[in-house]
Structure 1
Amino acid sequence: MEISKVTFRQHTQNTQPASMLKSNNNFAQVLADYQPAISNKDQVTPSNAETYVMNTNQGKQNIVLDDYLTPGPQSSSVNINDIPLLLPTAHNIDTLSKYTQEQFKDLLSQYNISTPPKTIEFDTEGQLVLPADYPYTAQLKHALSENPNVENALRTTAALASHYAGIMEGQPFRDEMSTARSQADRDRIVEKYSYLFDDDRPAKQIILTFLGDGNLLLTEKKQTA
């Protein structure tokens, strides 16, 4: 699995997004909005299930992604504080991208879909968006409807990568502020990166791009004027 156009550099700050990013007013809720609502106590995990070490808001945890990404009925309301939410870190994105790639390839094979779409993205409502000229739209949507865990994997990968790209856009600002020696230095740095504070600045959006063999690339969507 290759990652194109988006450089994922691991920083100690990766698990704590910058407060200046406008999408992070309530970071736990932001994460919960695009991650499946599961309750660990309701999950019965087979002893041979494959687990992945993931960075979560509750520290590093062994997560069974097959279970984590499979939606299920909830007998009661779920407190997001009880759910290990995947954080937008380089490790998580790399792990989840590889997992998603294999799941998607298996889905295409299972439903005899010979060609993957060139891209997959999700709109502001979290709905799947495929290229208008993709010839297997109906078949793929049917396959995903019968395998919601695969669509959740795609959605979560795109969302985590988009948040990470936004966080890393502000990394130079944080690096320079950490070494500022005076208020004049801090004022100069704030002015230099003032565009980061613009409420109208479009959020970073990562789309899933697929090669002919189904290999997954993460690419940044170009913003239209």
Structure 2
Amino acid sequence: MYITSDTNLANQSLLETNKTSVNRSNGATFEDYMEAIQSTGSKKDSGIDEASNKATVAMDTNKGSLKLNLDDYFTRKPSSETPVNLMDVPLLLPSAHNVDTLAKYSEQKIKDLMQQYDIPKPPATIEFDQQGQLVLPLDYAYTNQLKHAFNENPQVEEALRTTGALASHYAGIMEGQPFRDEMSTARTQADRDRIVEKYSYLFDDNRPPIHIVFSFLDDGSMLVGGRGGSANSNTMVKVSS
């Protein structure tokens, strides 16, 4: 299943859907999770609308909503002899707002990098393996140039990696939402047992995570795609700057 949007997700424009896979009757697909990002994005549009061209935006963190400079956030800090208390570091949460904002931010940074290093076209896809290592298509003609650009600008690669990690976590969390909704209205133990059986796949320790794939159009626009997970579907959502 693939979804593309020709306008800013934060504006909640209509999505054109081409259904190429079958939804599970007892679970949501990655499409549903990304549509949730669209539907909730306008709540914080002051941060989302400017994410592609302004580094300081409101982000959901473990310390509440904070204005963060994303350029600074993803820039590696020089080693310091002063110990850092991890409890003092704001951690980005896997929320719809954060995924949408980071996707727009990452897309613009990739476009800037392509222009700065005279790379004629982006790769068809960018992925990160289970160890967090960059994966580019084998037939991409500008692999060395793009890797060189990333090496000199590691904050861009880190932003993209973080976008993928949060998107995967968000989709994984939302897979369990139908279960929570139905359990909240269950009236009898029989109802609860039926619901648990219906969503038993959620409790499988071997349940595959949703793997995030970033795909790029000819104009440099980025699509955040997911495959795998319990729904076993493929979806891509265009992130317009």
Query: Residues of 2 paired with 1:72 and 1:8: CA distance?
Result: 35
Taking only the aligned residue pairs, the percentage that are identical comes to 61
Match of 2:201 in 1: 195
Residue 208 of structure 2 is aligned to residue 183 of structure 1: no
Query: Residues of 1 paired with 2:83 and 2:169: CA distance?
Result: 26
Query: Residues of 1 paired with 2:216 and 2:210: CA distance?
Result: 19
Query: Residues of 1 paired with 2:55 and 2:126: CA distance?
Result: 26
Match of 1:56 in 2: 61
Q: Quick one: which amino acid aligns to residue 104 of structure 1?
A: I
Q: Quick one: which amino acid aligns to residue 136 of structure 1?
A: Y
After TM superposition, give the deviation of residue 50 of structure 1 in Å: 3.9
Query: Residues of 2 paired with 1:71 and 1:192: CA distance?
Result: 45
Match of 1:68 in 2: 73
After TM superposition, give the deviation of residue 138 of structure 1 in Å: 0.5
Q: Specify every segment of 5 or more residues in structure 2 that has no aligned partner in the other structure, as ranges.
A: 10-14, 16-29, 38-53, 233-241
After TM superposition, give the deviation of residue 8 of structure 1 in Å: 4.0
How many residue pairs align between the two structures? 186
TM-score, normalising length: structure 1? 0.77
- Report Cα offsets for 1:96-125 as digits up to 9, x if no partner: 111111111000000000110111111111
Query: Residues of 2 paired with 1:74 and 1:82: CA distance?
Result: 17
Residue 36 of structure 2 is aligned to residue 9 of structure 1: yes
Query: Residues of 2 paired with 1:51 and 1:93: CA distance?
Result: 15
Q: Specify every segment of 5 or more residues in structure 1 that has no aligned partner in the other structure, as ranges.
A: 11-48
Match of 1:212 in 2: 218
- Report Cα offsets for 1:146-172 as digits up to 9, x if no partner: 001100111011111011111111111
- More strand as a share of residues: 2
Contact 2:210 2:228 in 1 (8 A): no
Residue 133 of structure 2 is aligned to residue 106 of structure 1: no
TM-score, normalising length: structure 2? 0.72
Contact 1:8 1:90 in 2 (8 A): no
- Report Cα offsets for 1:52-107 as digits up to 9, x if no partner: 00000110000000000111123144333211111111111111111111111000
Q: Quick one: which amino acid aligns to residue 125 of structure 1?
A: Q
Residue 95 of structure 2 is aligned to residue 89 of structure 1: yes
Contact 2:208 2:228 in 1 (8 A): no
**Aligned runs of 1:22-37 on 2, under 5 Å?**
none
Query: Residues of 2 paired with 1:186 and 1:73: CA distance?
Result: 53
